[in-house]
């Protein structure tokens, strides 16, 4: 079986190379049979990777410890679902997962476009399969998941494996890596169409119309992956945070920033014929940042709880990134005449300028995070000393950027195209602005004096009002015209332009997340060494350690502390934070307990037993408003789903007509 798995990967590697060559030669020589052959090779590669994946999964599920990968990342006593998740728990298996997702995307692209975009498709397929060749190179040579344990020339089998990293034995890790990869890998599709459009000089914006749904879906997967990772850090790592500006966290966030900018700027190209070069740069940047993030996670150049062990594959990534970026820059510079904007920015106070500012701020954040992440690596390479860039630096830089982005989220959609009038500005923003000032004054009077928190709450109120105002105005107009109630009117409004109003819901989800982020300004914590039967306090909570208990499962030995929580003398909750030592790895891991409420979370971590007094050491935290982050994600999910639904009424934006009407009005004014 192991030979079949390795052979399947090798054959897939060879056929992927053939697909690239056949597609390119077929396009250059105008040989349709070669183009078709290159597309059929994609189907063959899909079948071979499915075979290889099936063999690895079978080995993991059956605990076949002849495989080095199975022995390193699984063990007999692990639950079935964690044996499955061992597929992506290590370097070699996660690269196979990347290959599997990539070929699935490539297959869908080929099947969807059998009769569409025929001029572009050979180059699209070549780009997809060139990326596939790169990742299959890794699985074929330096990181094969089918290496066997050997003693001399003989294959051997150990009695049990090391098991999956205990930190990964949590439910979100069953879905976080695959979902994040769906976002990371998926952006190769918009990039492939953008590159195909550049090479063939396609007229119009075909690549934009073809890939905007791809971009939105992969952006959603990126968002979900980042949120799941934050939830895992919050519930598993024991320090209570959901974002620590860890290098691997940072590089997962970078392509989200550029893809968010891309989703906004494509609307400018669709409606106004502007920002064509900008969109090419953004889609390419997102793709290469996805590859760069994978490089950072796997090269060993940064230390992180999220990273894989150091390996030699970093060099492969650097070569791929260098060649890919160089070729993309060459193509963009060589097609600048084809990428000329059709219209120019007319006013700073307009929807066009708000999109431009939005993109600039997103890229400023991206650059700041990238620089802060790479600076320790660069400083060590140049001076020999590693200078640490800590979380406070990232917060100082990114909090003001985030607040400005939040402001633009409320302002941008309500500005008029071309040029906003003073009367329009007053009508749209007078009441939201006054409401924001009243709220901030009320919070100050209530004792909230943290500047950034005040600004965040105020801006969240401002943005929420502007979004609600848009739904109310449009819904009320439809309700009056169609003789229906307001709720039905707003549903009808959304159905008529799902992309616009789905985007508003996404913005509302971001608002709710910012409310959760602002709550961190009021966090409280304490660490106590407390005897059984004794109490300690944190804020309004009184906590009493009732007992310390011990036990064992097939997979680990556990010890927990039963903590009774009261508020103002009234029973509130009983929590049992736990310590575990896993049998195979002997790695201690905490299992925190969280009492979640909309206003705040009470978070307990059983850190250790003191060596001298044998008293439990409890870390207690109060995290205000953190639940709104997760609620905001569900609203974001709803908004993305709405935006993906086809609109009831086809919205057309003929740029020539818009310019013509503008000219007509100008003549009338004269």
Q: pLDDT digit string (tens) for 450-477?
A: 999 999 999 999 999 999 999 999 999 9
The DSSP call for residue 308 is: P
Q: With respect to residue 506, please indicate whether it lies within any of the assigned structural domains.
A: yes
Nearest to 526 by CA among 541, 514, 546: 541
Q: With respect to residue 126, please indicate whether it lies within any of the assigned structural domains.
A: yes
Q: With respect to residue 196, please indicate whether it lies within any of the assigned structural domains.
A: no
Q: With respect to residue 57, please indicate whether it lies within any of the assigned structural domains.
A: yes
Q: Using CA of residue 307, residue 308, residue 310, residue 311, what is the dihedral sign?
A: negative
Q: According to the model, what pLDDT value does residue 21 have?
A: 97
The Cβ of residue 621 has, within 10 Å, a number of other Cβ atoms equal to 22
Task: Report residue 650's pLDDT band, with 50, 70 and 90 as the boundaries.
Answer: low
Reading phi first (left if > 0) and then psi (alpha if -120 to 50, else beta), residue 364 is in alpha
Q: According to the model, what pLDDT value does residue 309 have?
A: 53
109, two tokens: 């692209």
Cα 300 to Cα 297: distance, rounded to the nearest angstrom: 7
Total domain count, the chain: 2
Q: With respect to residue 230, please indicate whether it lies within any of the assigned structural domains.
A: no
* Domain-ending residue, one of 148, 166, 184: 166
Cβ–Cβ < 8 Å for 578, 562: no
For residue 22, the enclosing domain spans 1-166
Nearest to 409 by CA among 465, 364, 450: 465
447, two tokens: 């004792």
Percent of the chain predicted with pLDDT > 70: 94
Task: Report residue 657's pLDDT band, with 50, 70 and 90 as the boundaries.
Answer: very low
Cβ–Cβ < 8 Å for 562, 547: yes
Task: Report residue 18's pLDDT band, with 50, 70 and 90 as the boundaries.
Answer: very high
185-210: pLDDT as tens digits: 999 999 999 999 999 988 767 788 88
Q: With respect to residue 148, please indicate whether it lies within any of the assigned structural domains.
A: yes
Task: Report residue 247's pLDDT band, with 50, 70 and 90 as the boundaries.
Answer: confident
For 333, the 3-state DSSP assignment is helix
Q: Among the residues of 273-313, which ranges form H helices?
A: 276-299
280-306: pLDDT as tens digits: 999 999 999 999 998 888 776 766 555
415, two tokens: 């500005």
């Amino acid at each position: 079986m192991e030979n079949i798995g390795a052979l399947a990967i090798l054959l897939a590697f060879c056929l992927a190379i053939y697909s690239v060559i056949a597609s390119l030669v077929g396009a250059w020589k105008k040989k349709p049979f070669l183009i078709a052959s290159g597309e059929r090779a994609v189907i063959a590669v899909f079948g071979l990777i499915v075979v290889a994946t099936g063999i690895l999964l079978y080995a993991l599920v059956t605990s076949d410890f002849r495989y080095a990968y199975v022995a390193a990342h699984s063990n007999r006593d692990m639950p079935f679902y964690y044996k499955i998740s061992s597929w992506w728990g290590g370097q070699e298996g996660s690269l196979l997962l990347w290959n599997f997702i990539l070929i699935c995307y490539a297959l869908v692209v080929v099947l969807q476009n059998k009769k569409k975009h025929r001029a572009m498709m050979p180059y699209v397929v070549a780009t997809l399969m060139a990326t596939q060749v790169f990742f299959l190179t890794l699985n074929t040579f330096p990181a094969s998941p089918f290496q066997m344990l050997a003693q001399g020339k003989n294959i051997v089998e150990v009695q049990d494996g090391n098991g999956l990293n205990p930190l990964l034995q949590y439910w979100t890790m069953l879905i976080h890596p695959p979902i994040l990869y769906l976002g990371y890998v998926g952006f190769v599709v918009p990039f492939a169409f953008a590159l195909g459009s550049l090479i063939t000089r396609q007229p119009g914006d075909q690549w934009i119309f073809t890939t905007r749904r791809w971009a939105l879906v992969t952006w959603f997967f990126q968002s979900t992956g980042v949120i799941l990772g934050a939830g895992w850090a919050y519930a598993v790592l024991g320090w209570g945070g959901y974002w620590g500006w860890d290098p691997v966290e940072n590089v997962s966030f970078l392509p989200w920033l550029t893809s968010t900018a891309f989703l906004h700027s494509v609307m400018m190209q669709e409606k106004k014929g502007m920002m064509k070069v900008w969109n090419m740069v953004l889609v390419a940047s997102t793709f290469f940042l996805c590859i760069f993030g994978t490089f950072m996670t796997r090269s060993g150049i940064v230390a992180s709880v999220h990273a894989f062990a150091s390996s030699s594959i970093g060099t492969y990534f650097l070569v791929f990134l260098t060649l890919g970026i160089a070729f993309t820059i060459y193509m963009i510079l060589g097609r600048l005449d084809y990428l000329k904007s059709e219209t120019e920015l007319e006013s700073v106070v307009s929807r066009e300028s708000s999109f431009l500012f939005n993109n600039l701020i997103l890229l400023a954040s991206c650059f700041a995070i990238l620089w802060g992440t790479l600076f320790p690596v660069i400083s060590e390479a140049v001076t020999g000393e590693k200078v640490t860039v800590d979380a406070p630096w990232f917060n100082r830089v990114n909090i003001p950027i985030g607040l400005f982005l939040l402001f633009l989220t409320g302002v941008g959609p309500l500005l008029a195209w071309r040029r906003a009038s003073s009367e329009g500005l007053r009508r749209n923003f007078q009441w939201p602005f006054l409401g924001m000032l009243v709220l901030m004054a009320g919070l100050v009077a209530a004792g909230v004096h943290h500047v950034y928190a005040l600004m965040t709450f105020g801006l969240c109120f401002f943005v929420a009002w502007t979004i609600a105002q848009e739904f109310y105005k449009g819904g009320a107009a439809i309700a009056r015209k169609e003789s229906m109630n307001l709720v039905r009117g707003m549903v009808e409004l959304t159905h008529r332009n799902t992309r616009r109003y789905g985007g508003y819901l996404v913005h509302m989800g971001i608002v709710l997340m910012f409310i959760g982020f602002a709550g961190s300004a009021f966090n409280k914590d304490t660490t106590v060494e407390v005897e059984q039967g004794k109490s300690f306090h944190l804020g309004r909570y009184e906590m009493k350690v009732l007992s310390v208990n011990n036990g064992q499962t097939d997979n680990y030995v556990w010890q927990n502390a039963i903590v009774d929580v009261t508020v103002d003398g009234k029973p509130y909750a009983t929590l049992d934070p736990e310590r575990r030592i896993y049998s195979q790895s002997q790695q201690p891991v905490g299992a925190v307990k969280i009492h979640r409420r909309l206003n705040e979370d009470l978070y307990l971590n059983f850190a250790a037993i003191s060596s001298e007094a044998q008293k439990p050491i409890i870390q207690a935290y109060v995290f205000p408003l953190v639940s709104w982050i997760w609620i905001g994600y569900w609203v974001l999910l709803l908004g993305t789903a709405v935006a993906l639904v086809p609109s009831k009424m086809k919205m057309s934006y003929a740029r020539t007509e818009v310019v013509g009407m503008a000219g007509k009005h100008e003549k009338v004014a004269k």
